[in-house]
Structure 1
Amino acid sequence: MTLPAPLTGVVPPVCTPLTPDGEVDPPSLRRLVDHLVGAGVSALFVLGSSSEAAFLRDRQRRQVVETVTAHVGGGLPVLAGAIDMTTPRVLDHIAAVTEAGADAVVVTAPFYTRTHPAETARHFRLAAAASPVPVIAYDIPSAVHTALDPDLVLELAAEGVLAGLKDSSGDLAGFRRVVTGARGRADLTGFTALTGSELLVDCALALGADGAVPGLANVDPHGYVRLDRLSRAGDLAGARAEQERLAALFGLVGVGDPVRMGGGSSALGAFKAALHLRGVIDCPATADPQIPLAPREVERVAGFLTAAGLL
């Protein structure tokens, strides 16, 4: 289907349910999609950070896109990450995910190798030239170690290279520059600005963001849809109260013992444990080499869900 311009609302970065032996679990993935669509989300983003895209084999990436696009049947847009270290690999992913039915691709700056801003710009131009669907930039310097300059994003948007930005930079001031810059130009009225923050969705929407891509929306999509609707209705007090409830729930990402696991293992393990506890997915396994949560840590996840009224 055609991607709305701009795309608005809640766009969950869909977790990838796995079997105990590390293969994609299509039945659980379809139930997760139903869980999200039933909450009223606007689109789905597969093969992002919360999808564990970096841990999946190429055949598994394609399986995820094919499963989700076939299940939604064009009922709402599916964005797919085409994320890899260098431009040639990204072009391969763009071909694969668009053949599998993706309605837009999400692309980071190159990583591993150090890139000059001119090389980053060329990377996006080459991606857009090769893509039959819109390209959305993914600004996530914590993972790729390159921050996208707001002026470069706006320049590429004006050229027609970028249809939007998913901002996971943590730099709200920089995101504001993109939003206000796009809103101030008649030639960028269709540009989509999405925040990747779980904790500042109300603030981002207030400054003009089109929507949000919060990983926690896997666990509580209804909450983020409520937050989005309250914000758009001008109910700032209601939006703030819902954001505070979600911020408290987000504490579940810290259940993992930092002595034995990293923050990614803790956060993704907690998302999947929550989905398992809620009966959405069959198995809470995360991809290797991430460390599984211990039973006592899963109990803490259950405590967060209970406090949020989800269990």
Structure 2
Amino acid sequence: MTLPAPLTGVVPPVCTPLTPDREVDVPSLIRLVDHLVEGGVHGLFVLGSSSEAAYLTDRHRRLVVETVVAHVGGQLPILAGAIDMTTPRVLDHVRYVTDAGADAVVVTAPFYTRTHPAEISRHYRLIASRSSVPVFAYDLPVSVHTKLSAELVLELAADGVLAGVKDSSGDEGGFRAVVMGARMDPAVSGFSVLTGSELVVDTALAMGADGAVPGLANVDPHGYVRLHRLCREGDWERARAEQERLCALFGMVHVGDRARMGGSSSGLGAFKAALYLRGVIACPVTAEPQVALSAGEVERVGKFLAATGLL
């Protein structure tokens, strides 16, 4: 489908349900997509961080895109991560996700190697020149160890290289600079600025952001869609209350014992445990080598769901 310019609303980064032997659980993935669509989301982002894209083989990545496009392609925009270390590898991903029918690709800065801003610019320009669909930047310094500057993002937007940015940097000042630049420069008309935060969506929308890509929307899509609607209606008091309810729900990402697991195991494990407890997916397993939540930790996830009206 033709991608709206700018893309707006709630675009969840779709979790990837797995079977106990770590294959993609296609029936659960379809149920999850139906759960999100029924929740009123405005698009889907597959193969992002919440999708565990870094842990999936190329075969698994391809299966995820093909499954989601076959199930809901044409109903709402589908963005696909084309995330890898260097430009040639990213271009490989771009080819298969666009062949599968993705409406846009989402790309980080190069990583592993040390890169100069000029090389990051060249990376995006090469990808855009060879992609048949719009390219979104994914600003994720915690994982790729490079922060995309507002100046670079706006320059690439003005040159027609980037269609938008998903900002998961946590740099609110830099985020605001992108929002302001996109609003004030006619050359950047149609550029989509999306926050990757779960916790400050109301603030981002008040700044002028176009939408949000929150991982927690897998668990509660209705809540984030409701929050987006309240913000667009200017009902900031009710929006703040909804955001604070979602902040309380987000506390589930801390249930994992950090003495034996990392933040990814705890956070993604909590999202999957919540989806399992809500009956959306069949198994809460995460990809290797992540550590599984214990039975007691899963029970704590259930308490967060119950406290916020979801169980």
Q: State the TM bucket, normalised to the shorter chain.
A: over 0.9
Cα shift at 1:292:
0.3
Q: CA separation in 1, counterparts of 2:220 and 2:151? A: 34
Q: Secondary structure of the equivalent of 1:222?
A: helix
Indicate the residue corresponding to 2:44 in structure 1: 44
Q: Contact (CA 8 Å) 2:46, 2:65: kept in 1 or not?
A: yes
- For residue 172 of structure 1, report the CA deviation from its aligned partner: 0.8
Q: CA deviation at 1:73?
A: 3.1
* Root mean square deviation of aligned Cα: 0.4
| 1:115 aligned residue | 115
1:181-202 Cα shifts (integer Å, max 9, x gaps): 0100112120000000000000
Shift >2 Å, 4+ stretches: none
* Corresponding position: 1:62 with 2:62: yes
Work out the CA distance in 2 between the residues paired with 1:11 and 1:124. Answer: 22
Question: Which residue matches 2:152?
Answer: 152
Cα distance in structure 2, aligned partners of 1:166 and 1:257: 29
Gaps of 5+ in 2: none
- Map of 2:233 onto structure 1: 233
Q: Partners of 2:130 and 2:284 in 1: how far apart?
A: 36
Match of 1:135? 135
Distance 2:176 2:259 in 1: 37
Distance apart, 1:43 and its partner CA: 0.2
CA distance in structure 1 between the partners assigned to 2:133 and 2:14 by the alignment:
20
* 3-state SS of 1:136 partner: strand
Q: Which residue of 2 aligns with 1:248?
A: 248
SS at match of 1:193: strand
Q: How does 1:254-269 map to 2 (within 5 A)?
A: 254-269=254-269
Alignment-derived partner of residue 80 in structure 2 = 80
Measured in 1, the distance between the counterparts of 2:285 and 2:98 equals 28
Q: Deviations over 1:267-311 (max 9, x none)?
A: 000000000000000000100000000000000000000001000
Output the CA distance in 2 between the equivalents of 1:29 and 1:143.
25
Separation in 1 of the partners of 2:175 and 2:158?
17
- Please say if residues 73 and 101 of structure 2, whose CA atoms lie closer than 8 Å, have aligned partners that are also in contact: no
Give 1:105's aligned residue. Answer: 105
* 1:129-187, Cα deviation, whole Å (9 max, x unpaired): 11000000000000000000100000000110000000000001100000100100112
Match of 1:197 in 2: 197
The residue type equivalent to 1:128 in the other structure is: A
Quote the Cα distance in structure 1 between the aligned partners of 2:287 and 2:163. Answer: 31
Provide the residue aligned with 1:300 in structure 2: 300
2:167, 2:195 within 8 Å by CA — same for their partners in 1? yes
Structure 1 segments unaligned to the other structure (5+ residues): none
Q: Distance in 2 between matches of 1:28 and 1:206?
A: 35
Identity of aligned residues (%): 76
Residue 68 of structure 2 aligns to a residue in which SS? helix
How many residues are paired up? Answer: 311
Residue 208 of structure 2: aligned partner = 208
Tell me how far apart the structure 2 counterparts of residues 211 and 118 of structure 1 sit (CA, whole Å).
Answer: 28
SS in structure 2 of the partner of residue 165 of structure 1: strand
1:45 partner SS: strand
> What is the one-letter code of the residue matched to 1:157?
A
2:19 partner SS = coil
Output the CA distance in 2 between the equivalents of 1:171 and 1:234. Answer: 25
C-alpha separation in 2, matches of 1:111 and 1:67: 28
1:30-70 CA distance string (max 9 Å, x none): 00000000011000000000000000000100000000000
CA distance in 2, matches of 1:146, 1:212: 21
- Offset at residue 106 of structure 1 (A): 0.1
